[in-house]
Structure 1
Amino acid sequence: MKQLHLSDKHLYFNRELSWLDFNGRVFEEAADPQAPPLERLKFLAITGSNLDEFFMVRVGGLKLLIQSNSQSTDITGATPAKQLMAINERAHAFCTRQYQCLLESIEPALAAAGLRRLRPQDLPESDRSHLQGLFERDILPLLSPIAIANGAAFPPLRNLSMNVAVRLAPHPEIPRSMRYAVVPMPQMLSRVIFLPELRPDELRYVLWEDVVKLFAEQLFPGANIAECVAFRITRNGDLTVEDDAAEELLDDMKRVLKARRTSDCIRLEIEDCASKKLLRALQQELTLDDDSCFLLPGPPGIAAFMALTDLSGFEELCRKPWKPRQAAGADLRKGIFKAISRKDILLVHPYESFEPVQRLVEEAAADPDVLAIKITLYRTSKNSPILAALCQAAQNGKNVTALVELKARFDEERNIIGARELQDAGVQVLHGIRGFKTHSKICLIVRRDSDGIRRYMHFSTGNYNEITARIYSDVSYFTCAPEYGQDASAFFNAITGYSTLRQFHKLDMAPVGIRTRLLDMINGEISRHQAGQKSLIMIKVNSLSDKDMIDALYRAAKAGVRVMLNVRGICCLRPGVPGLSDNISVVSIVDRFLEHARILYFHRGGKPQVFISSADWMTRNLDRRVELLVPIADDDARKRLISMLEIYCSTQQHKGRVLNADGSWKCHVSNPTAKTPSTQDAFCAEAQEDEQLLEQNRRTVFEPVVPPPRKKRKKG
């Protein structure tokens, strides 16, 4: 057998292509003909949104490297130029699949069910008349056509905004002249325009750009229009803060947000009916090569169809919504602090309600015995009740500290606004350690209890966001254990002040401790296996791309340790390589909820250690972010997470795809079309059973038992 060395580039997958594979797994949900059509449309829109961000960040970053003539290589030895070439090939093929699915499968299914998109050529005269009135009254006053070419500067079109490109016929006096214009879509207009109802069981709509194309002559009176084509541009979003040069992080983030509005264009999406003349004119103005132009057989911007997925009256075309359940282990009737002081609480969202997390902050804000609240905020909702509670706490005289991460990509503007609101309310707002993004999820409450000062903690794998908590699968852990409290205080002192980071009792923190702890745990399993003890590693993360961590898992598997992985997205590890990784299995789950929890299990010779973490196994998380690794001390919570990992890492599950050595992902269930419950459906059923059991226990303890009515005895 050939001797394998970890320097061999063929032992790893490219990060960018692995991400595109992940988006392909999301697309499989859209392509599933057994799924409800609006559910399919939702997943298709997600693939579009995912691809938008991928181009803004990953492709944008590669293009910057290419412009700087960088010859750096990735884990597989590929240069930026080689990676970009492979990405473009995959992305063009993927777009073809997207539009084939939309136009040939999803839209016909929706039309058959009464939700129909009309093209301009399909509009009856009555609808044309209605749209003309609408256009003249509500749309035309908002439009501002902009001439391009002939020396005029190209307009600063918004990133991902919809536009119509217009080619005007040559001027009569200048036969060969080419005249072009762009009509940008105003931000306040909806892309979807609904038509008058003709039948009670049908809802018809047109797209904004089609209406503009219908009546474009009103925008250019006296000119002959040769063609109108919808298009969209993507700008480079990989603009980062220069931490060493910036005197004020807040001012620097505002500069980055402003720069993104006019950054280089890196992708053009345009209808494939565009003439070569119009296409070349746009390419020249945007400085784009052919590979960066995507000719589409349908409307650009597939992500916009998400607006249709929650229409009232079409619930039968969607999957039945899930209502998070009350957890059996979180009885909050006597207050959240009483509940935590009785026992550590583990919650798994969205199967179980996010309400206890929200209540922790809200009760702390109102409780006169609470002295201080400290929290890290990465992504919050628009009208966040947690931010409102923090403001109220500060106004109530409590010492409130919030670390607001301004560099949460594409949420920077919202976080800047939130930080200002908190400051105005009297909250001490900080922005973390310069040079490091704070990605940890922790809330610390300092309270005066009857027996003295006590610290209550909440640790999580997800954000303090009640909206995403309904669609992301995450883990929450509440405790008031003293050692965790000491570590939590030390953590906040380290990231908000100048204290030296001392050794934690329970927690580990990146960038100084998590990598070392994980490598020690993996090496410990190797040593125990070599000593004849049972060994096992089970890991659930969103991404696995760090070479040192992959190599450690390779060494463990080669030594005989069973390694079971659940990786939602990027996975650069190649399983199934004989003599190296044939002890490793990799499963990915794509289903109704976004798998977001990071859970880690090490057997340790029968004394299992289980962790939750905010960190993925990526170099950026382990070396350039402030993250937390939290051990689970409670026996019941630990057993529950191990049980969940056994299901997550099983290669025989509905909605689970298994990674093969050749890079393909396959569903290994014998009959994938069978009506077997998925892992997430099973967790939903379990949460429902727990809630029913909780209600039964409550009635048994707190409600009098009413005996059934006795039957009247017959007189004898």
Structure 2
Amino acid sequence: MTQTHPRFFNRELSWLEFNQRVLDEARDDQIPLLERLKFIAITGSNLDEFFMVRVGGLRVLVNRGITTNDPSGMTPLAQLDSISVRAHQMMADQYECFLKELEPQLTAAGLRRVPGQELSERQAKAVEQVFDGEIFSVLTPMAIATCAEFPLLGNQTLSVCVQLAPSSDAPGKPRFAVIPLGKVLPRFLTLSAERGTAYVLLEDVVGRFVERFFPGEVVTGHAAFRITRNADFSLRDDLAPDLLAGMEDILLARKHGECVRLEVAACAGPELVAFLKESLAVEDRDVFFAPGPIDLSTLMQLTDLKGFEQHRYEPWPAQASPQVEPGASMFETLARRDLLLLHPYQSFEPVMRLIEEAAVDPDVLAIKQILYRTSRNSPIVTALARAAQRGKSVTAIVELKARFDEARNIEWARNLEEAGVQVVYGVKGLKTHAKTCIIVRREPQGIQRYVHFGTGNYNEITSRIYSDASLLTSNEELGADAVMFFNAITGYSQPQRYRKLEAAPIGLRTRLLELIEGETKRKLAGQKAAIDVKLNALVDPELIESLYSASQAGVPIRLNIRGVCCLVPGVPGLSENIRVVSVIDRFLEHARVLRFHHGGDNLVFISSADWMQRNIDRRIELLIPVEDVPCKTRLVAALETYFDDNVKARLLNPSGQYTLLKPQGRKKRRRSQELLYEDACQQVKQAEQSRRTTFEPHMAPGANS
């Protein structure tokens, strides 16, 4: 019997399979122990956001009575049912990994969790002192007479539900109280131990002394729990007269969102669980019983403990770019050549240095920059403020709608405005997701524009753990396009036809379809054709259909999709020429890179956009050509390295399952991230060797003018 395959994978189930691939890293005993713990913490954090946004959004559709099928043929309700089954299995796998694999090895390595009832006499006395001196004074129990009086608990904050014996007035009715644990107290309390480090969880300490919160009462049960609220709220900014105030309203609305997931300790009694379900209006499918610590994402705190260096990855410090002289001006460097940086293998420092130099350079007239996500103490934001204070024209597009970074971006926007920066809060109805910075400088030959384009955010912290690409250039056409693009966002002007760039939501879809269809036509004409694409997500049905058509024409297509992939590869007559792999390793793959054979010309691009309807149609994104030959050659080599990975790459099968690739026969072991880092190190060594064998005289000032 011929096996049938869907035309599209469901987006939500595909995302859960991505999280499974992260969990597989936690189960890999070839990875250092604390790195495995980090991976399992990431799976917890990922699931939190998935429930807040994706499940929350589906719940809204179901509540509105919407029954429209998605491209995979599933209704919102069917998706929720399937998600519940898959997510429950994933949670079981998470705790099996933590409790049966990681925790015993952590204990053997000297990092032990001590349950509240297993404290030694010495440890119990120390914990009791902490409870009496700090915990008891900070926490506040809240009695709940009826479900309608259930308190407004913070999203994803841990609490303890306490069941009390019935009162004499209502002998058959149990009573309940809730103790919110808040975010002030540490989740992990360090204990004295004969060897290594021991810790006890805050909820276990509260459970050990819970009776002290209720003197004169009989506690019949207690259990830790945590709720996840719907955070999928969007602002109709076309109707919001004040975007800043509107985003603050969104942040407030999230505090009141309905509960979409209830996590409760597996030890919870049936009456306690029934009380929580009724109070939070959740169904059985929304309840997740945790046999271990609730909120696995907090385990990330343990991965930074000192004294366990042998259980971490060998450090891979970011390498300097050999094209950037340590003492030379970035303007001088970019005047000579384009610069391609592959992060985190190469340092993000040249990008920051360019902006910081621009802030104090007397010849710089203007800086224009898009800020989507930044670090908490961003040196780039500080540089923009300094530039404005020095009288330069500084304009920052601060995207207030960057999900879960709204509060930080609101704070940055206000600080920048106070420093004299012109702040634009994005575009009505769209998110500004493009990453670019433009510096306008007066030079002897006239006005010169220096531009940075990136696939990642202006965040020096995440640049150390996200795999991204940066292109820095003084190319005249790219500079002119960048200014035109920026001014189209900040003004009322209609987007113009660019010479080099392409942008969403106006022309990006058309350009991508043209590039794919160009390869299709060449193949049908008997010419060589090929498509290589590296993205974080591939969801858009129209682009997927175009790839299917190219495959049917015989175009070999290689896709490296880190996360969600709705395209079904390897189906005869549909996608047999499409190969999809996903690389999950120590760094988060984040770069979007495209290559089209184009008759041998190799059109190569970097982009801020994944191939999703939201990115192509509802965001401001950029597609940037990389035409400088050394930069293009290096980027193509990096793509090949990813597609050659046979250690951390997983192949997507037509069934929707992923298979870990392994070296076959005599083929060498090739781990893409390791090879890219080794290449960055080798470039530095070669540059140092070249400098040692080349005499470079000091020139008198003005000798080259």
- Whole-Å Cα distance in 2 between the matches of residues 211 and 74 of structure 1? 47
- Whole-Å Cα distance in 1 between the matches of residues 147 and 678 of structure 2? 64
Contact (CA 8 Å) 1:191, 1:207: kept in 2 or not?
yes
1:559 to 553, 556, 566: 553
Q: Please show how residues 240-639 of structure 1 align to structure 2 within 5 Å.
A: 240-639=234-633
The residue type equivalent to 2:143 in the other structure is A
- Whole-Å Cα distance in 2 between the matches of residues 150 and 54 of structure 1? 31
The residue type equivalent to 1:29 in the other structure is E
Q: Which runs of 5+ in 2 are unaligned?
A: 698-705
Deviation (angstroms), 1:92: 0.2
Deviation (angstroms), 1:149: 3.4
2:653 to 643, 648, 660: 660
- Whole-Å Cα distance in 2 between the matches of residues 407 and 151 of structure 1? 34
Instruction: State the secondary structure of the residue aligned to 1:228.
Output: strand
- Whole-Å Cα distance in 1 between the matches of residues 198 and 408 of structure 2? 34
Deviation (angstroms), 1:703: 8.5
Contact (CA 8 Å) 1:332, 1:339: kept in 2 or not?
no
Corresponding residue for residue 714 of structure 1: none
Deviation (angstroms), 1:667: 1.5
Instruction: State the secondary structure of the residue aligned to 1:11.
Output: coil
- Whole-Å Cα distance in 2 between the matches of residues 105 and 159 of structure 1? 30
Corresponding residue for residue 37 of structure 2: 41
- Whole-Å Cα distance in 1 between the matches of residues 169 and 550 of structure 2? 78
Contact (CA 8 Å) 2:519, 2:530: kept in 1 or not?
yes
- Whole-Å Cα distance in 1 between the matches of residues 74 and 213 of structure 2? 49
Contact (CA 8 Å) 2:26, 2:40: kept in 1 or not?
yes
Instruction: State the secondary structure of the residue aligned to 1:170.
Output: coil
The residue type equivalent to 2:152 in the other structure is P
Indicate whether 1:13 and 2:9 are aligned.
yes
Deviation (angstroms), 1:432: 1.8
Contact (CA 8 Å) 1:473, 1:593: kept in 2 or not?
yes
Deviation (angstroms), 1:330: 2.6
**TM-score between both structures, scaled by the size of structure 2:** 0.97
Contact (CA 8 Å) 2:529, 2:597: kept in 1 or not?
yes
Contact (CA 8 Å) 2:400, 2:426: kept in 1 or not?
no
Instruction: State the secondary structure of the residue aligned to 2:611.
Output: coil
Residue deviations 1:508-548 (CA, integer Å, cap 9, x gap) = 00000111111101111111112222111000000000000
Corresponding residue for residue 228 of structure 1: 222
Contact (CA 8 Å) 1:23, 1:47: kept in 2 or not?
yes
- Whole-Å Cα distance in 2 between the matches of residues 409 and 577 of structure 1? 36
Deviation (angstroms), 1:671: 6.8
Deviation (angstroms), 1:316: 1.0
- Whole-Å Cα distance in 2 between the matches of residues 664 and 154 of structure 1? 42
- Whole-Å Cα distance in 1 between the matches of residues 534 and 670 of structure 2? 20
1:124 to 120, 123, 138: 120
Contact (CA 8 Å) 1:329, 1:346: kept in 2 or not?
no
Corresponding residue for residue 642 of structure 1: 636
Residue deviations 1:174-195 (CA, integer Å, cap 9, x gap) = 3212110010013211111101
Instruction: State the secondary structure of the residue aligned to 1:406.
Output: coil
The residue type equivalent to 1:692 in the other structure is K
The residue type equivalent to 1:678 in the other structure is R
Corresponding residue for residue 61 of structure 1: 57
Contact (CA 8 Å) 1:142, 1:186: kept in 2 or not?
no
Deviation (angstroms), 1:675: 10
Deviation (angstroms), 1:66: 0.2
1:161 to 140, 146, 157: 157
Contact (CA 8 Å) 1:601, 1:610: kept in 2 or not?
yes
- Whole-Å Cα distance in 2 between the matches of residues 152 and 572 of structure 1? 42
Instruction: State the secondary structure of the residue aligned to 2:172.
Output: coil
Contact (CA 8 Å) 2:436, 2:452: kept in 1 or not?
yes
- Whole-Å Cα distance in 1 between the matches of residues 298 and 278 of structure 2? 27
Contact (CA 8 Å) 1:48, 1:303: kept in 2 or not?
yes
Indicate whether 1:692 and 2:685 are aligned.
yes
Residue deviations 1:607-640 (CA, integer Å, cap 9, x gap) = 1100000000001000000000000010111111
Deviation (angstroms), 1:151: 6.2
Contact (CA 8 Å) 1:522, 1:552: kept in 2 or not?
yes
Instruction: State the secondary structure of the residue aligned to 2:315.
Output: coil
Corresponding residue for residue 239 of structure 1: 233
Corresponding residue for residue 713 of structure 1: none
The residue type equivalent to 2:14 in the other structure is S
- Between the two proteins, what is the percent identity of the paired residues? 52
Runs of 4+ in 1 over 4 A off after TM superposition: none
- Whole-Å Cα distance in 2 between the matches of residues 321 and 517 of structure 1? 41
Q: Please show how residues 25-36 of structure 1 align to structure 2 within 5 Å.
A: 25-36=21-32
Deviation (angstroms), 1:694: 2.1
The residue type equivalent to 2:70 in the other structure is D
Change (3 A) 1:9 1:237: farther
Instruction: State the secondary structure of the residue aligned to 1:132.
Output: helix
Name the Cα RMSD after superposition.
1.7
Deviation (angstroms), 1:641: 1.1
Deviation (angstroms), 1:218: 1.1
Q: Which runs of 5+ in 1 are unaligned?
A: 705-716
Corresponding residue for residue 703 of structure 2: none
Deviation (angstroms), 1:242: 1.3
Residue deviations 1:10-40 (CA, integer Å, cap 9, x gap) = 2110000000000000000001122211111
Change (3 A) 1:276 1:151: closer
- Whole-Å Cα distance in 2 between the matches of residues 116 and 57 of structure 1? 34
1:84 to 75, 80, 85: 80
Deviation (angstroms), 1:382: 0.1
**TM-score between both structures, scaled by the size of structure 1:** 0.95
Contact (CA 8 Å) 2:147, 2:279: kept in 1 or not?
no
Deviation (angstroms), 1:702: 6.1
Corresponding residue for residue 150 of structure 1: 146
Deviation (angstroms), 1:112: 0.2
- Whole-Å Cα distance in 2 between the matches of residues 453 and 278 of structure 1? 71
- Whole-Å Cα distance in 2 between the matches of residues 633 and 516 of structure 1? 21
- Whole-Å Cα distance in 2 between the matches of residues 370 and 206 of structure 1? 56
Contact (CA 8 Å) 2:51, 2:228: kept in 1 or not?
yes
The residue type equivalent to 2:687 in the other structure is L
Q: Please show how residues 72-111 of structure 1 align to structure 2 within 5 Å.
A: 72-111=68-107
Deviation (angstroms), 1:371: 0.3
Contact (CA 8 Å) 1:460, 1:613: kept in 2 or not?
yes
Instruction: State the secondary structure of the residue aligned to 1:155.
Output: coil
Instruction: State the secondary structure of the residue aligned to 2:368.
Output: strand
Change (3 A) 1:144 1:433: same
